[in-house]
Chains A and B, each alone.
Chain A
């Protein structure tokens, strides 16, 4: 019975999270087109539904019914496997993201945490491990297409993801030093208080009279955001699918539902990266002011709302960057990753470690 309730609760949570994420992915495509057009004096989609709000549904139906083309000479198995290999890791990371306060409720004698699917103690490591698998989807898709543009795109994606994954990891390590835990819930809990306790400002880590000393993670934050944009292959780092050079990169030969899988994976990755950024650096579900405005039993609404605001703020930043910046050249991208981001992240770890060592005593 207890097992049944536990499993049932888990299934319900998974269903809700997947539903929300898929819905967000669908309407993110519309939001991106709209925001871009508003920044460029255009209108964006206007035909399907009022102001084009039903465009994602039309796109989805179209992609679903399109002919499923496998190019001649393609490796059928890997060609079909690649989109799934790309999509699953993108969705799997949402399992450990805390969407709201770390509350526990009793349901038929079983303790359930309603705002996180599962609170494993290696949460952030789990996300990093699985999102890295997504790179396999891209490079296998590029290789299996039997197309030189696809292969070039896949190679670029692999090199780029490896380079910037490293910076993401190093940026996260300094946060781990502050939190002392790999669990996403613990990291978010440690930033309770106000905006000053968020890891971008980083107060509250000192002992005694040094409580105010800010162990600011602004450098790690900037490194993380830039690397996250690069890791999700978004502009200005969209070299793997650079349409002016490589047609559509690793997606050139894909059409219909397989293309949709790649597309959904890209947007799901964007959401996941935004969730991680808000949890690690911006206090997750904590409001920028101390405490909550709503009474204690309704405080979770506020927590979820703040988390949502932060995540959508990040997603807007993605669109904003895309509307502003041109694509980097490939050598610039690599130089920036290895010669600028990596030393910055490493230096930040050293400084954070030293400062925290002296502050904690």
Chain B
């Protein structure tokens, strides 16, 4: 036993085992072409994002182009980082209807938890798959309503997050994943 250990030490056995491992990878890669690099050449090729990816947050519209947002402030209340500022107001001439006159999101603070999206009773908020939002100026990440709506238009051309959520009375129900309203009621 001790002799075998000495022979192993003198012949650098462990080091040779390690070097065999590296050269095997090298040969498989270069000569035999059995292995591939796991590298993704990022700006040229991009990873497929999962469906539940939580990227930039967007405001949505209805098909006729009006805002879904009713200015209820629930997203502002739900936000743990105080990203959202909503200034709500009445729709002129229609005292029962309210909307967000101004809507700001300070994306420098956003941690993309998605609580605002869950809190929204009218499904006006959605998470897109956009993530390349590096800016030279930090203030460029203070998004106003137009920018958030543009994000939504760009990423959700059908203007609905999920088709099964489309319901004539969608604005009046608290749509969650759990309690869907029946389709024809």
Contact B22–A324 (Cβ < 8 Å)? yes
Distance in angstroms between the alpha carbons of A324 and B18 in the assembled complex: 6
Render B24-59 as a binary contact track against A, CB cut-off 8 A, 1 for contact: 011001100001111101000000000000000000
Distance in angstroms between the alpha carbons of A142 and B38 in the assembled complex: 38
Contact B37–A320 (Cβ < 8 Å)? no
Distance in angstroms between the alpha carbons of A35 and B23 in the assembled complex: 10
Contact B37–A43 (Cβ < 8 Å)? yes
Contact A39–B26 (Cβ < 8 Å)? yes
| A164 CB, nearest partner CB in chain B, Å | 17
Contact B38–A35 (Cβ < 8 Å)? no
Say if the beta carbon of B15 comes within 8 Å of chain A: yes
Chain B residue nearest to A47 in the complex (CB):
B41
Contact A40–B39 (Cβ < 8 Å)? no
Distance in angstroms between the alpha carbons of A35 and B21 in the assembled complex: 14
Contacts A37-B37, A41-B37, A42-B37; is A320 near B22 (CB within 8 Å)?
Answer: yes
Distance in angstroms between the alpha carbons of A69 and B126 in the assembled complex: 49
Chain A residues lying within 8 Å of B39, measured Cβ to Cβ, are 42-43
Distance in angstroms between the alpha carbons of A324 and B22 in the assembled complex: 6
Contact A40–B25 (Cβ < 8 Å)? yes
Contacts A320-B19, A324-B19; is A42 near B38 (CB within 8 Å)?
Answer: yes
Contact B37–A323 (Cβ < 8 Å)? no
Say if the beta carbon of A46 comes within 8 Å of chain B: yes
Contact B19–A41 (Cβ < 8 Å)? no
Contact B23–A41 (Cβ < 8 Å)? no
Contact A38–B26 (Cβ < 8 Å)? yes
Contact B41–A46 (Cβ < 8 Å)? yes
Chain A residues lying within 8 Å of B22, measured Cβ to Cβ, are 39, 320, 323-324
Render A14-48 as a binary contact track against B, CB cut-off 8 A, 1 for contact: 00000000000000000000010111111100100
Contacts A46-B41, A320-B22, A320-B23; is A41 near B29 (CB within 8 Å)?
Answer: yes
Chain A residues lying within 8 Å of B30, measured Cβ to Cβ, are 38
| B102 CB, nearest partner CB in chain A, Å | 43
Chain A residues lying within 8 Å of B21, measured Cβ to Cβ, are 324
Chain B residues lying within 8 Å of A321, measured Cβ to Cβ, are 19
Chain B residue nearest to A222 in the complex (CB):
B12
Distance in angstroms between the alpha carbons of A35 and B19 in the assembled complex: 13
Distance in angstroms between the alpha carbons of A264 and B21 in the assembled complex: 30
Chain A residues lying within 8 Å of B26, measured Cβ to Cβ, are 35, 38-39
Say if the beta carbon of A325 comes within 8 Å of chain B: yes
Distance in angstroms between the alpha carbons of A37 and B25 in the assembled complex: 10
Partner of A41 from the list B15, B18, B38, B41 (CB cut-off 8 Å) is B38
Chain A residues lying within 8 Å of B38, measured Cβ to Cβ, are 41-42
Contacts A37-B37, A41-B35; is A325 near B29 (CB within 8 Å)?
Answer: no
| B112 CB, nearest partner CB in chain A, Å | 29
Chain B residues lying within 8 Å of A325, measured Cβ to Cβ, are 15, 18
| B32 CB, nearest partner CB in chain A, Å | 12
Distance in angstroms between the alpha carbons of A320 and B39 in the assembled complex: 21
**Contact residues of A between 34 and 74, Cβ < 8 Å to B:** 35, 37-43, 46
| B5 CB, nearest partner CB in chain A, Å | 15
Distance in angstroms between the alpha carbons of A194 and B24 in the assembled complex: 30
Distance in angstroms between the alpha carbons of A40 and B25 in the assembled complex: 7
Distance in angstroms between the alpha carbons of A323 and B18 in the assembled complex: 9
| B18 CB, nearest partner CB in chain A, Å | 5
| A329 CB, nearest partner CB in chain B, Å | 16
Distance in angstroms between the alpha carbons of A321 and B37 in the assembled complex: 21
Chain A residue nearest to B16 in the complex (CB):
A324
Chain A residue nearest to B12 in the complex (CB):
A222
Chain B residues lying within 8 Å of A41, measured Cβ to Cβ, are 25, 29, 35-38
Chain A residue nearest to B39 in the complex (CB):
A43
Render A296-332 as a binary contact track against B, CB cut-off 8 A, 1 for contact: 0000000000000000000000001101110000000
Distance in angstroms between the alpha carbons of A38 and B22 in the assembled complex: 9
Chain A residues lying within 8 Å of B29, measured Cβ to Cβ, are 38-39, 41
Chain A residues lying within 8 Å of B25, measured Cβ to Cβ, are 38-41
Chain A residues lying within 8 Å of B36, measured Cβ to Cβ, are 41
Chain B residues lying within 8 Å of A39, measured Cβ to Cβ, are 22-23, 25-26, 29
**Central interface residue in B18, B22, B23, B35, by most chain A CB within 10 Å:** B22
Chain A residue nearest to B23 in the complex (CB):
A320
Distance in angstroms between the alpha carbons of A324 and B16 in the assembled complex: 9
User: Can you spell out 9 A-B residue pairs with CB atoms less than 8 angstroms apart?
Assistant: A37-B37, A38-B30, A39-B23, A39-B25, A41-B29, A42-B37, A43-B37, A43-B39, A320-B19
Q: Closest 7 CB pairs between A and B?
A: A43-B39, A43-B37, A39-B22, A324-B18, A324-B22, A323-B22, A39-B26
Identify 15 new A-B residue pairs, CB closer than 8 A, beyond the known A38-B29, A320-B23: A38-B25, A39-B22, A39-B23, A39-B29, A40-B25, A41-B29, A42-B38, A42-B39, A43-B39, A46-B41, A320-B19, A320-B22, A324-B19, A324-B21, A325-B18
Binding site for A on B (CB under 8 A): 15, 18-19, 21-23, 25-26, 29-30, 35-39, 41
